[in-house]
A and B are shown apart, each in its own frame.
Chain A
Amino acid sequence: MTDAVENQEKQEKRVSKKHLPRTPMREQEAMERVQNYEEVPFGYSEAEAIAEAERCIICKNPKCVTACPVNIDIPSFIREVRDGNFEAAARILKDTNSLPAVCGRVCPQEDQCEKVCIEGIKHDPVAVGNLERFVADWEREHDKISIPEIPPPTGYKIAIVGSGPAGLTVAGDMAKQGHDVTVFEALHRPAGVLIYGIPEFRLPKLIVNAEVDYIRKLGAKFVMNTVVGVSITLDELFAEGYHAVFIGTGAGLPKFMNIPGENLVGVYSANEYLTRANLMGAMRFPEYDTPMRPSQHTVVVGGGNTAMDSARTALRLQKCRVSLVYRRSLQELPARVEEVHHAEAEGIEMHLLNNPVAILGNEQQEVTGIRCLRMELGEPDASGRRRPVEIKGSEFELECDTVIMAIGNDPNPVFTRATPGLKVSKWGTIIADEETGATSRPGVYAGGDIVSGAATVINAMGAGRKAANAMDTYVRSLAI
């Protein structure tokens, strides 16, 4: 055993005995941050990052790696952070995760790596997400983002439909192989939910744009304003000489509850609300052209990340009272814990165990309120969560002028509807092989929310990575 290795092992043993509490991340004060759109947590300083990295016991059989949907080599990157080698840490992250600055901010680490962290069994889990974010930010801020050497062009043409995290991952991976990559996106800006959905105060657009730029620098081309299936069909892509196509069209179809009053003026889907605010710049109206109706009291229906994002955006945009109506209890809120805490601290009123039954309006068809029923928790349902049941005669009305429906999104049907011969499930998701993303049509791969139904950024990335591997093998088997 060399001295160096011996030293390292010693140090790791020493560190493991410390069991210090988790290094908190500094953030903007609640009352201050609702006055602006800036990011809430500030990120670690170098010293804080090293202190947090020292808490990791660099396990031999780390649980965190298997719990990570893209199997980031977590102990190795944390070891580099601990030793102050931030650039090396960034390389390790980028080996498996093409969007670490995004994932460090929006991944539900508490359900993944941090949930199973060995240090976390008896003490606080290591703040893997915070460290990931630190490393990615450090790399960008220090201009250390390096473009790997790209092999000579292979001559294979790859089309990618949709520029969300799934499509971006495939684009990056394929471009790195020397393939000729073109991404087609329906909207005028790339990155899917990362750009139109998740708000600035949680995921600054500067970061998203930097990630897209990186993929551009790898050689991928982006064609915006193109709805594949309508502007150009799958068959036409093949006819234009593309050898393989990846479908990452996401889950962008907003659900409504089908209760009376949902088409009143002042009822938005979360997608519309967030798109107006983020993509279209309604928070800077009239400097930007797209408006939002002013509000005194906005009610958000739902309990996921989308609901929290809508509520917190409303608070900043409208500077008004904001309430959240959700039919289950606090424990069952599907949003990330961190986001629920942020929302509560900012003053969002939580009306839990309430189910909307109608939206009320005046003769101008403008929203004047929402009628809800109180619920109580009954027997657990299929998902293991206790099922909410209505309390008879408990109806009440909440006065409001805006209602945001944030009850989830279904798979985007535009592409699948226009593409015969592609197998689709009864839920509208594309049927694809879990390991390869291969669909029922040769040369066509799919991944992300369009296959899994609405899930997570890291899931979409993981699916993109697997599909990219399979597509690489597939195209190389073709003769050009």
Chain B
Amino acid sequence: MPQHVIHSRRILAEKVHEFWVEAPLIARKRKAGQFVIVRMNDRGERIPLTIASGDAERGLIRLIVQEAGKSTIEMGRLQVGDFFLDIAGPLGRPTHIETWGNLIAVAGGVGAAPLLPIVEAARAAGNRVHAIIGARSENLMILAEEYARHCHEVRLCSDDGSVGIKGLVTDCLRQWVSEGVQFNQSLIIGPVIMMRETAKVAKELGIPGQVSLNPIMIDGTGMCGACRVSVNGKTKFACVDGPEFDAWGVNFDELILRNRAYLRQEKIALDTMMDHECKIGLATGVAQ
């Protein structure tokens, strides 16, 4: 039984955790755009997480996790030396990378994590990579320095203006194009609403591209169909046909509503955990 021990961990931003985890086979095989499914313990869910990068030599993969509910809050408490019970992967199709020329990568929030390996791969394929990284505010912005290392130019923006330009990634994109830069291809990853709006603007500006979708998944191997998404009017299984799809063709509104399917149960799960911890006197909240 391979043990997926956590070698190091760090807090990148409020409620965003970075882990380097032992998974030698995956570290060797992973390609940009692929993900893993992890289970923390025997009662746990199967949780899809993008492989943010890997270190084949040391047999480690890097996962960046944002607290979204019960499982990810629990994950945020894992410490160095703790382990994941199961890690399956690499799953999904690797990003289709060509030499497009001028590329614009747009990240929203924690989407900067899954986008990073794709940016690296696109750059290695000879593209000129530009990036826009947006976050609600400075304390939620992640990986900006790493982008700076891999991109020809990076622009930051935030809703409150605490970092970079005050405004949304879509404003930033329009601005950049209005300066006369022509982008041949876009890569957009972030919250679904952000991807919907950015894809809309990219289409308006005539920039084709890819988005990476995060539907609810169970097995991640094409066996259950929980991850169905509609792309250009056709049903696709995101875990095996994606997770990346044609930005212009995705039915984002359907995805938004499908991702809300378990809101009530997710709240019950979280409340049960918090309740239980209050009773046994554990501190609640995020790990230090």
User: What is the interface of chain A, defined by CB distance below 8 A to chain B?
Assistant: 186-188, 196, 224-227, 230-232, 252-254, 256, 262-263, 265-266, 268-269, 271-272, 275-276, 280-281, 285-293, 364-365, 412-414
List of A residues within 8 angstroms of B222 by Cβ: 252-253, 412-414
Contact A186 B218 (CB under 8 A): no
Closest 9 interchain pairs by CB?
A291-B265, A225-B88, A272-B224, A289-B45, A252-B223, A269-B225, A365-B257, A265-B261, A288-B43
Most A Cβ at <10 Å: residue of B86, B90, B226: B226
Closest to A285 in B: B265
Contact A232 B29 (CB under 8 A): yes
Bound form: Cα–Cα A479–B235 in Å: 49
Bound form: Cα–Cα A224–B26 in Å: 13
List of B residues within 8 angstroms of A289 by Cβ: 43-45, 70-71, 269
Contact A291 B225 (CB under 8 A): no
Bound form: Cα–Cα A187–B89 in Å: 10
Number of B residues, CB within 8 Å of A: 41
Contact A412 B25 (CB under 8 A): no
Contact A186 B219 (CB under 8 A): yes
Q: What 0/1 pattern do residues 211 to 252 of B give for CB contact below 8 A with A?
A: 000000011011111101010000100001000000000000
Closest to B34 in A: A230
Which of B86, B221, B225, B258 sits near A227, CB closer than 8 Å?
A: B221
Known contacts A262-B235, A286-B268: A254-B258 contact under CB 8 Å: no
* Residue B91 lies at the interface, judged by CB distance under 8 Å to chain A: yes
Contact B29 A186 (CB under 8 A): no
Contact B29 A414 (CB under 8 A): no
Contact B265 A263 (CB under 8 A): no
Contact A293 B262 (CB under 8 A): yes
User: What is the interface of chain B, defined by CB distance below 8 A to chain A?
Assistant: 25-26, 29, 37, 39, 43-46, 70-71, 85-91, 218-219, 221-226, 228, 230, 235, 240, 254, 257-258, 260-262, 265-266, 268-269, 272
List of B residues within 8 angstroms of A365 by Cβ: 254, 257-258
Most B Cβ at <10 Å: residue of A231, A276, A288, A364: A231
Which of B37, B225, B258, B268 sits near A256, CB closer than 8 Å?
A: B225
Given contacts A225-B88, A263-B235, A280-B45, 15 further A-B contacts (CB under 8 A): A187-B221, A188-B46, A188-B86, A188-B88, A227-B88, A227-B89, A231-B29, A232-B25, A262-B235, A263-B228, A281-B43, A289-B43, A289-B44, A364-B257, A412-B222
In the assembled complex, the CB of B223 is this many whole angstroms from the nearest CB of chain A, namely 4
Which of A225, A226, A254, A281 sits near B225, CB closer than 8 Å?
A: A254
In the assembled complex, the CB of B122 is this many whole angstroms from the nearest CB of chain A, namely 22
Contact B223 A275 (CB under 8 A): yes
Contact B254 A225 (CB under 8 A): no
Contact A269 B224 (CB under 8 A): yes
Contact B240 A263 (CB under 8 A): no
Closest to A187 in B: B219
Contact B45 A186 (CB under 8 A): no
In the assembled complex, the CB of B242 is this many whole angstroms from the nearest CB of chain A, namely 13
Bound form: Cα–Cα A375–B186 in Å: 50
| 17 A–B contacts, CB within 8 A, in A order | A186-B219, A188-B88, A225-B87, A226-B88, A227-B221, A232-B25, A252-B221, A254-B224, A263-B230, A263-B235, A268-B226, A269-B225, A271-B225, A272-B225, A286-B272, A291-B266, A291-B268
Bound form: Cα–Cα A112–B235 in Å: 39
